[in-house]
């Protein structure tokens, strides 16, 4: 199958970046993984190799597919190494200044018609695109943790995003086995807006002394049917990641 983007760059090799790299490689794209911490890239490549080996052991992938995925995944030593990418997805720290600086640099490296996308959880896509020379090729592409298991991705057009860019990202999401959802460029988009009723309300319940962490987790997991309670989810996401998202959505409203 011809993939929508034959070469995909992923900037940020943390929890999200490595998951996006995994499903992009599984979809048949050559993937270039970049991080300011080279050891994060090496760790991610080693972890993904082990992950594919486990999928082989479980019979979910065959040996040929695993070997091909490993071959398609490459470490990028610098942003310059992303020059031939048709799509670059950014999954770095949730800070507007850092993301804007990264895309400004990337614009000078990739082809003028390459697509640039952000995995931001909460920042305005339009705000990240402001200052770009070609904001029409920029969109939000919001995955969830863990990426290979959470099979939904929000596709977010900024004010100037070309409709064809969102169509391309939508088609590629399906090639990666995900369900694309069009979301507006509003604080938290759909899922993290709705999620305010989960994590932040749970924090409020603790703050008001109604119940403790474990009790709230247990009720929402065992009685309401969520896979993880709100505090288990915050542990999985990491408070260093969750907190800036909460602040960002709060301030935008």
Ligand X SMILES: NC(=O)c1ccc[n+]([C@@H]2O[C@H](COP(=O)([O-])OP(=O)(O)OC[C@H]3O[C@@H](n4cnc5c(N)ncnc54)[C@H](O)[C@@H]3O)[C@@H](O)[C@H]2O)c1
Q: Which positions lie near ligand X, rule CB under 6 A?
A: 11-17, 34-37, 40, 91-94, 98, 102, 119-121, 143-145, 237, 241, 245
Q: How near is the Cβ of 146 to ligand X at its closest, in Å?
A: 8
Q: How near is the Cβ of 62 to ligand X at its closest, in Å?
A: 29
Distance CA 22, CA 31 (A): 9
Active site residue 142: yes
Kindly report the CA angle at 204 between 223 and 243, in degrees rounded to 5? 100
| Gap between the terminal Cα atoms of the chain | 43
Of 98 and 109, nearer to ligand X (C-beta) is 98
Distance CA 168, CA 157 (A): 12
Q: Which residues of 120-145 are buried (b: 16+ CB within 10 A; e: fewer)?
A: bbbbbbbbbbeebeebbbbbbbbbbb
Q: How near is the Cβ of 203 to ligand X at its closest, in Å?
A: 16
> Listing from the earlier edge strand, what are the strands of the sheet with 87-90?
73-76, 30-34, 7-11, 87-90, 115-118, 138-142, 152-157, 179-183
Of 14 and 168, nearer to ligand X (C-beta) is 14
Q: How near is the Cβ of 154 to ligand X at its closest, in Å?
A: 9
CA–chain centroid gap for 240, Å, is 16
Q: How near is the Cβ of 12 to ligand X at its closest, in Å?
A: 3
Distance CA 93, CA 17 (A): 11
Give me the catalytic one of 142, 178, 193, 243: 142
Of 37 and 71, nearer to ligand X (C-beta) is 37
As annotated, the active-site residues are 142
């Amino acid at each position: 199958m011809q993939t929508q983007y034959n070469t995909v760059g992923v900037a940020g090799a943390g929890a999200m970046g490595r998951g996006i790299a995994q499903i992009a490689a599984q979809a048949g794209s050559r993937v270039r993984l970049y991080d300011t911490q080279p050891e994060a890239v090496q760790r991610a490549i080693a972890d993904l190799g082990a992950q594919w080996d486990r999928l082989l052991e479980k019979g979910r992938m065959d040996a040929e597919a695993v070997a091909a995925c490993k071959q398609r995944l490459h470490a990028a030593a610098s942003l310059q190494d992303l020059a031939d990418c048709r799509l670059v997805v950014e999954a770095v720290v949730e800070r507007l200044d850092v993301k804007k600086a990264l895309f400004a640099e990337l614009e000078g490296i990739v082809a003028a018609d390459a697509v640039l996308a952000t995995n931001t959880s909460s920042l305005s896509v339009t705000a990240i695109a402001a200052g770009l020379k070609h904001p029409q090729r920029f969109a939000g592409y919001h995955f969830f943790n863990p990426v290979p298991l959470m099979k939904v991705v929000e596709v977010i057009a900024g004010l100037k995003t070309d409709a064809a860019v969102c169509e391309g990202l939508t088609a590629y999401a399906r090639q990666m086995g995900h369900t694309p959802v069009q979301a507006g460029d509003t604080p938290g988009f759909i899922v993290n807006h709705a999620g305010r009723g989960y994590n932040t309300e749970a924090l409020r319940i603790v703050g008001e002394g109604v119940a403790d962490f474990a009790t709230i987790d247990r009720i929402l997991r065992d009685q309401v049917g969520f896979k993880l309670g709100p505090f288990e989810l915050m542990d999985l996401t990491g408070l260093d990641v969750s907190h800036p998202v909460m602040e960002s959505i709060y301030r935008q409203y």
